[in-house]
Structure 1
Amino acid sequence: MTVSADTWQRRLDQGMPALPYVLLVLSTTAAVTVDGRTATAPTLAISAVTLGWLLLFRRIDATTPRVAGIYVVGLLALCVAMTTRSPLFGFFVFIGYLSVDHIPGWWRAPPIVITAVLSALCQSGGWPLQDYAMPGLFPLLAVINVGVAGAMFVVALANDERQHQAGVAQERQRTAREIHDTLAQGLAGIVAQLEAAAHARSQGSDDEGHLHAATRLARESLAEARRSVRAITPHELEQAQLPDAIEKVTTSWSSTNRLPAEFTTTGTPRPMHPEVEVTLLRAAQEALTNVARHARASRVGLTLSYMEDVVTLDVRDDGVGFDPTRHGYGLTGMRQRVSGVGGELAVESSPGEGTAISASVPAVPA
């Protein structure tokens, strides 16, 4: 989708809440000024009640099925009353189609059929039917309106089902990725600590610190995996903003692996969408895990940069480097996670030249 199309889509989404009020005003004005059969006072009274109904349900949460059902029943009753005043209220009756989003499944069918019949009635001249031509058209128009609305309803229902199934599959993939990343990073850290303990023992040094670190990593990884199954925000982000969380991860990693690691933030930090923040946090953890396992670096630097449209995380080390065309599951999983939120992952490295990883994701606000 182009930038221009995105802009128009956002404008359309922002304007949709005002549409019922605009159509109500237009329909009422046309009914009072154009339709000579309509008495002004009763028409304005019905419009005022309808306006009150719209405003009432704008103030309360009408997204639950029960409340949404009450709202739609009342709205359709008012539409029936309006169509008996003037067929020009057919412009407003269209809102009936747009008011069933929060009604589940096939329960949407009756409101849609009623809206289609009321639309056909308005197209036929309103109630009571005034001449001999229009009454004959009403059944045909009703069939056409119900048929078109029904076809659109079936398509929308099928689309909802596809989106539901896609959402279920996406959530399963997210959970599997969270568990894998958590356990893989934890196991990598444990292996590194056990190898360091074995090396210390072979040199006659104290290995107790490494063993304690391995035990702590095992417990933290198990707890985080359980949290991932329950779809809970990583504990690093529960009590801290993203920069603080990454700084804490960096400090803990540096202490555990006994390597200097520096974290800096540029730009103005601001809350991002949870998926964006989790993605950047996991990218930092995975990058540090790879440094501990493979880089043999003497120092590491992390930079979190807040820009207008994107947030980037850069991780650099002065280690042995590698061939970026040949990498393991860690970088593959990181790239999949970053691309899953619409971002990009860039890797620059060569043997003996260190490594630079840059994760750039859209700055989607919380």
Structure 2
Amino acid sequence: MSVLGIDPVAEPSLRRWMPLALLAAGTAVAVADTLILDRGHERLPFLVGFTALTATWTMLCHPSVRNIPTVYLLVRLVLTAILVGLNPWYGIYAWYGYVEAPNFLPGRLVYPVTGAFALIAAASYIGGYPTTPVMVVVWLILGAGSFALVWYLSRAVLKSREQEIERARMLDELTVTNQRLEETLAENRGLQSQLIGQAREAGVMDERARLAGEIHDTLAQALTGIIRQLEAAERGGELAPGPRPHLDLTAELARDGLAEARRSLRALRPGQLEGSTLPKAISDVAGRAGLPVEVDVAGAVRVLPPDQEVVLLRTVQEALTNVTKHAEATRVGVTLTYFEDAVTLDVRDDGVGFDPDRVGMRADGTGLGLTAMRERLARVDGALVVESAPGEGTALVATVPAVVA
């Protein structure tokens, strides 16, 4: 970065041609001063020749042409000092050294070279290099003042540039943050639509499960009881021998009603369970989870009441949704185990984990997944156990009693 507002990267042509333009201006004024004031004519050829040498050095050895910036500027310092000694008007050319020194010199040389240019410029102010003690003092004071002024301006410009760079950086960060926010909002809108769809589907499935449970627990069991009571009465000889068309018709109607109730139970099974088994439905849900899920089944598979199968399926869906949204897991395992007196569903992941005691409804309305699971399982006399800790993954175990459909 340069002082005095000149950016060496942004203005390469200005950086190269400005010294030549200032040298030409200083030469024109110096020659006019010599001719008009009729002094120093004998030095005029030497002045023009030395100016040409300086111009040649600037054109051929400038850092934009050759990669010798330190050598270029040190030679330029000597040439400038000689030119000012020949004619003080070359101070016009001398001041640009303040700009070039920070651009082309290593840090340890910037201040001494800038100080040297300040002394050369001070000599131009007093009409040439001093020859008396008084003028030496004046020269040194002017040089120190010039150096201090340049140093102050340089610091001010550098600070302003740093602030501009910081503002640009903050603006870039703000732009990136806004882009990420827009992406997050778009993702959230998609998740919201997905959650609304899942909630709608869950409501339908829960209602189906409720109706299926009521049919199973009331109508189907009542019809089964009637049929078994009639069969028991017949085996026990409680029925009179001979034709009994009304009892036979009652038994037939009960069997037909039971068959119809069971058909209704099958019809109320959710879409994933329609024409499928619970293990197959769980595998289908796991396949759409968006991350690798390993599904295992243990024990003798049997058909459970629709409300139990729906609850277990919804538990898997909710658990995998939570894993996808929050766990940052790389591995997930689902195990469905059929015991004689119970059926268990295990969902395990190697994610970030959490503190189960601190999970609950948050201010934004989220955090109800585990509560919803427990409530669903409670409706079928089931239970939910959650084992987790920050950084140690999560294990979720849902259990329902073994009831044959």
TM over 0.5: no
| Larger Rg belongs to | 2
TM-score normalised per structure 1:
0.41
TM-score normalised per structure 2:
0.38
